[in-house]
Structure 1
């Protein structure tokens, strides 16, 4: 199974331009030929390419220093040096690229197929053919190529989804994702079964919704408790948050308030997203009173009662996710 890596720091540099050439024509019957030194080649660029089929940044961990090639030196007979090879960095959709030194976001790569030249290679130096004048017909000077540029970059993956599932560990988020979609997240009856984000696609006629399930949040997550807080970036791009609560929870209303608090501590924007409540495990006995509590406490938000185990309410939930 491919390792899930969602943050990596890399060093990148564009290629220097090649040096111009000092050369003179050496032809039969032309004893004092003029300068014919060619220009150096352009240095290679650093290019970022977004690839739809990538799901993780693991490839960037295998080579953290990426250098484009230097342009070749020019040569006689006005021959230009060849350009240096570009280096192409392939990243998944949703990746955000930041300049480590300045903190500036240099690319927020949401769209598949995005291709951006991040660093231009240096220009090649001019050969001595450029420096001949009426007074100085045999110049023995040529330009060096321009140097390349360097950056230290932090690349962060932020998954792109329509709906993000948020809840405590064991609320049943992964089971619901598996019920609704063809995803096969790891599911178990112990805390923090989900240790990485999972994605699934829910289809309804000709439409679809991408659903994201992140590791569960617990009280104190914003101070580093549990696993879920560092993965909240993966629901930052979602349109809707689905709060998944366990109907066996002794105080599901307080659980939702805790989740709200942790989201707000991470990002005020995240806390303002539209949301719904999924009340899971309605197969447990005597849950009607708990459902009434939720609907009374959150009258402006849809509360959908389901069971990921039996499938009860799943069709209604699917419809609500499209509304």
Structure 2
């Protein structure tokens, strides 16, 4: 089964917790802190495996969670870092953040890797918090939570040449006679419902990969027929071969077919008009095809090269294949995404005001709800079973300006403050 679009959940491993411990050796009075740091959580990494051709495996496993780091130990021993979780994907996989729509990775080459969800860092043990004023702290951090997100995986076939055209114009037949591919062939529309790939050899030592895509119809760029589902596969092709039925057996005009399909390609992605295009005038063995070809040439002019062929009788194929191979030698590789433009990095100028680390909203029950990635991260890394850790968390909130912001919103002594699913009492 060919699967080219799935949604999955990924989560980096949580960091291990830091430890509160003290030296206990004999003859060492007043032993200092000796709690080690927790290990880092594992990353979720996607890696290209050229042996895969579909996203079928993701239909059965949709959750991927990296292991967490080991907790810190006594005697200053740090916890072990967790192993990364490596997920194999086929070449041509695009990874998209579902929430933001941002492209995280475009994976095309065998062995190419990308970190999709980072693991959390390990929490610091109490050794890290020793100061001259507090030489024996009872503070340790919990491990940082790993990143978690839903991602969409889209597979866009890696083919040099894409066959496009209306249903039943002979695309599958053409692929079957020029390569060893065995696509399903039938005398009805939409016989091809999944893309087929075949390696074509021209006879002079050159070869290329050709993709037979399901037939397009008017409105394909809006999802009519099988359009939106498979138009994405032509995005990576370097040469487009437009197969046109010159016999007019379906009652359609060949030139109108040519114009409508090109319009669908343009409406889907304007960059597709940059691709070199060749017309394969198919079914030239049928009555009326020669007359239709003459009219077609008059209307098209020098706009595109036309090669009369008959996929059924295998006539005229060699000139077509040689022209495709010649074009591929000079055709550029078209990049789908410029991931450098997707970087989260920003240039900060002196006059820019730093964005708020949190926001405060009022819940229906009157509670003040604190939201913000930084505050939630600090909260999750605080060990509330130790008074010293709680006081440190309160100082961190005060330093961020949370106390003043709550007062500005009207918080008074005894009001409820909520972070995630936990509630606190606001005390002046």
Structure 2 unaligned spans of 5+ = 327-428
Q: Is 2:315 aligned against 1:312?
A: yes
SS in 1 for 2:294: helix
- Report the number of matched residues: 321
TM-score w.r.t. structure 1 length?
Answer: 0.93
Separation in 2 of the partners of 1:71 and 1:177? 51
Q: Does the CA contact (< 8 Å) of 1:48 and 1:88 recur in 2? A: yes
Q: Does the CA contact (< 8 Å) of 2:307 and 2:316 recur in 1? A: yes
Q: Name whichever of 81-90 and 168-177 sits farther off.
A: 81-90
TM-score w.r.t. structure 2 length?
Answer: 0.71
Match of 2:211 in 1: 212
Q: Name whichever of 164-173 and 90-99 sits farther off.
A: 90-99
Equivalent of residue 85 in structure 2, options 84, 87, 97: 87
Equivalent of residue 47 in structure 1, options 38, 45, 48: 45
SS in 1 for 2:8: strand
Q: Name whichever of 297-306 and 183-192 sits farther off.
A: 297-306
Match of 1:254 in 2: 256
SS in 1 for 2:323: helix
Separation in 1 of the partners of 2:133 and 2:162? 74
The runs of 4+ residues in structure 1 deviating greater than 6 Å are: none
Match of 1:224 in 2: 223
Q: Does the CA contact (< 8 Å) of 1:17 and 1:147 recur in 2? A: yes
Q: Does the CA contact (< 8 Å) of 2:221 and 2:227 recur in 1? A: no
Query: Which structure would you say has the larger RCO, counting Cα contacts within 8 Å and 6 or more residues apart?
Result: 1
Match of 1:69 in 2: 67
In our comparison, the structure showing a higher alpha carbon Rg is 2
Q: Does the CA contact (< 8 Å) of 2:15 and 2:40 recur in 1? A: yes
Match of 1:269 in 2: 271
Deviation per CA, 1:139-165: give whole Å up to 9, x if none.
Answer: 322222222112221111111211110
What are the residue-to-residue correspondences of 1:8-157 with 2, within 5 Å?
A: 8-30=6-28, 32-134=30-132, 136-157=134-155
**Distance apart, 1:137 and its partner CA:** 3.8
Q: Please identify which structure carries the higher helix content.
A: 2
Separation in 2 of the partners of 1:248 and 1:264? 26
Separation in 1 of the partners of 2:276 and 2:228? 20
Separation in 2 of the partners of 1:115 and 1:221? 33
Separation in 1 of the partners of 2:190 and 2:8? 30
Match of 1:236 in 2: 235
| CA-based RMSD | 1.8
Separation in 1 of the partners of 2:276 and 2:136? 74
Separation in 2 of the partners of 1:232 and 1:274? 17
What are the residue-to-residue correspondences of 1:123-202 with 2, within 5 Å?
A: 123-134=121-132, 136-202=134-200
